[in-house]
């Protein structure tokens, strides 16, 4: 099967620090691909390069066979590639429902003039947007909070609002930057179920995550980054036995690289 997303030899550096060098990996449609690696491995940078926030200095990104390198984020959203953020980016001045309604921006089209004049087509579109957004909120169990300002939500609920916003337009691929960071075990468990359900509906997910048990439970494929290099890609079982991955996480031969969280190393060791 031709992968939905192909990342080829991405290069990116910030003021002399090489955040990504020659990173390549791919993600399949309707599957969950996880990108893991110690802090500073370049995971978020990779997501930012794919989603158009950064323009990579080298390499290219293919989405559905088309080169999308350097395209603006809003163009990618229209092509079915959306994302969530590690540091939450909920629109705090909008209500929960409005947040998710904005998620449909890329797949709807009424502009300034029809909005100001309230033309009939615009009213119909507004109704469709509202209905679909409510549907997405119901799917994530947030329907009861639809009218609240998003700024008043708890951290866990904000994460779900972001997910609903990224999913509501039924994209082909969603990039999730640490979807369970900061969630308690019960919420993490619930999020894992949601991700699998989204996968079942045919949406591809590319997630960056530190929580190894979640990664091993939900992923079809795992990509390992280390100091800006891709060191392995494979299914979860293969990754757990991969010698270089073990060396990276456990530091069997070398000193553990700075920034490796012991918990992750332990988790990886026990898995």
Partner 1 sequence: MNGGRAFLWQLLALAAAVVLAPLLVGNPYHLNVLNVMALNVLVVTGLNLLIGFAGHISLGHAAFYGLGAYVSGILSSTHGWDPWLSSLAAALVVALVALVIGIPTLRLAGNYLVMATLGFNLIVTILILQLDEFTGGPSGFSGIPPLKVLGRSLASDQQFYWLVWGAALLGLLLARNLADSRVGRGLKALHDSPVAAAAVGVPTAAYKVKVFVLSAVYASLAGSLYAHYFGIVTPKTFDIFFSVELVTMCLVGGMGSLWGGFFGAAFLTPLPQVLHVFDEYKDVFFGGILLVLLIYQPQGLAGLWTRHARARAARSA
Partner 2 sequence: MSGWEQLSQYIMSGLTTGSIYALAALGFCLIYNATHIVNFAQGDFISLGGLMMYTLLGAAGLPALLALPLAVAVVAGLGVVLEAAAVGRAKSREITVLIFITVAASVLFRGVFKEVWGKQALAVPPLSPDVPLKLLGATFTPQNLWILGITLAAIAVLIYFFNHTLTGRAVRAVAINPKAAALMGIDTRRMVRLSFALAGALGALAGAIITPITTASYNVGVLMGLKGFAAAVLGGYGNFLGAIVGGLSLGLLESLGAGALSSTYKDVIAFVVLLLVLFVRPRGLLGGGEETRV
Applying CB under 8 A, the residues found at the interface with partner 1 are: 51-53, 72-74, 77-78, 82-83, 85, 89-94, 98-99, 101-108, 110-112, 115-118, 122, 125-126, 129, 162, 165-166, 169
Q: E strands, 77-166, where?
A: 81-83
- Report the nearest approach of partner 1 to the CB of residue 259 (Å): 24
209: left (phi over 0), alpha (psi -120 to 50) or beta: beta
Tokens of 171: 């994209």
Report how far residue 110's alpha carbon sits from residue 230's, in angstroms, rounded to the nearest whole number.
43
- Is there binding between residue 102 and partner 2 (CB under 8 A)? no
Q: What is the pattern of x (binds partner 2, CB under 8 A) and - over residues 205-244?
A: ----------------------------------------
Q: Which is nearer to partner 2, 42 or 192 (CB)?
A: 42
Q: Which stretch binds partner 2 (CB under 8 A): 47-55, 127-135, 143-151, 162-170?
A: 47-55
Location of structure tokens 């163009």: 75
Considering only 9, 28, 29, 53, the residue that binds partner 2 (CB under 8 A) is 53
Kindly identify the residues of this chain, within the stretch 63-92, that bind partner 2 according to CB under 8 A: 85
Q: Which residue number, 9 or 94, has a Cβ lying nearer to partner 1?
A: 94
Both tokens assigned to 259: 């920034």
Task: Read off the tokens for 141.
Answer: 């169990």
H/E segment holding residue 175: strand 173-177
Residue 111 binds which one of partner 2, partner 1, none, with CB within 5 to 8 A depending on kind?
Answer: partner 1
- Residue 63 interacts with which of partner 2, partner 1, none, CB < 5 to 8 Å by class: none
How far is residue 227's CA from residue 38's CA, in Å, rounded to a whole number? 8
What DSSP assignment string belongs to 64-82? TTEE-TT--HHHHHHTTEE
- The span from the CA of 203 to the CA of 201, in Å, is 6
25 binds partner 2 (CB under 8 A): no
Min. distance of Cβ 228 from partner 1 in angstroms?
Answer: 22
Structure letter (DSSP) for residue 246: H
Q: Which of 34, 46, 49, 54 binds partner 2 (CB under 8 A)?
A: 54
Complex with partner 1: residue 169 or 222, whichever CB lies closer: 169
Please tell me the distance from the alpha carbon of residue 218 to that of residue 210, in angstroms, as a whole number. 13
Give the sheet arrangement for strand 221-226, strand by strand: 81-83, 173-177, 204-208, 32-36, 221-226, 229-234
Question: Least distance from C-beta 92 to partner 1, angstroms?
Answer: 6
Nearer to partner 2, 25 or 85 (CB): 85
C-alpha torsion sign, points 230, 232, 236, 242:
negative
48 is a site residue for partner 2 (CB under 8 A): yes
Of 26-34, 48-56, 118-126, 181-189: span binding partner 2 (CB under 8 A)? 48-56
Binding site for partner 2 (CB under 8 A): 14, 48, 53-54, 85
């Amino acid at each position: 099967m031709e992968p939905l997303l192909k990342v080829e030899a991405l290069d990116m550096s910030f003021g002399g620090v090489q955040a990504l060098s020659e990173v390549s990996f791919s993600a399949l449609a309707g599957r969950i691909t996880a990108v893991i690696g110690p802090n500073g491995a370049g995971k978020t940078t990779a997501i930012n390069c794919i989603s158009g926030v950064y323009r990579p200095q080298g390499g290219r990104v293919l989405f559905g066979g088309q080169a999308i390198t350097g395209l603006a984020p809003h163009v990618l959203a229209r092509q079915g590639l959306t994302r969530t953020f590690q540091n939450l980016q909920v629109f705090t001045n909008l209500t929960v429902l409005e947040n998710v309604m904005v998620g449909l921006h890329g797949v709807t089209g009424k502009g300034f003039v029809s909005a100001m004049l309230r033309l009939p087509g615009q009213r119909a579109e507004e109704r469709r947007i509202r209905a679909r957004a409510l549907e997405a909120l119901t799917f994530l169990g947030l329907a009861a909070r639809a009218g609240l300002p998003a700024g008043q939500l708890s951290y866990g609920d904000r994460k779900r609002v972001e997910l609903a916003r990224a999913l509501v337009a039924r994209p082909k691929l969603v990039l999730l930057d640490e979807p369970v960071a900061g969630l308690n075990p019960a919420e993490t468990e619930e999020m894992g179920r949601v991700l699998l359900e989204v996968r079942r509906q045919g949406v591809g997910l590319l997630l960056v995550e530190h929580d190894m048990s979640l990664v091993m439970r939900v992923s079809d494929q795992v990509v390992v980054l280390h100091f800006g290099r891709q060191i392995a890609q494979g299914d979860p079982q293969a990754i757990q036995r991969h010698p270089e991955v073990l060396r990276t996480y456990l530091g069997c031969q070398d000193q553990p690289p700075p920034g490796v969280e012991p918990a992750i190393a332990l988790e990886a060791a026990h898995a």
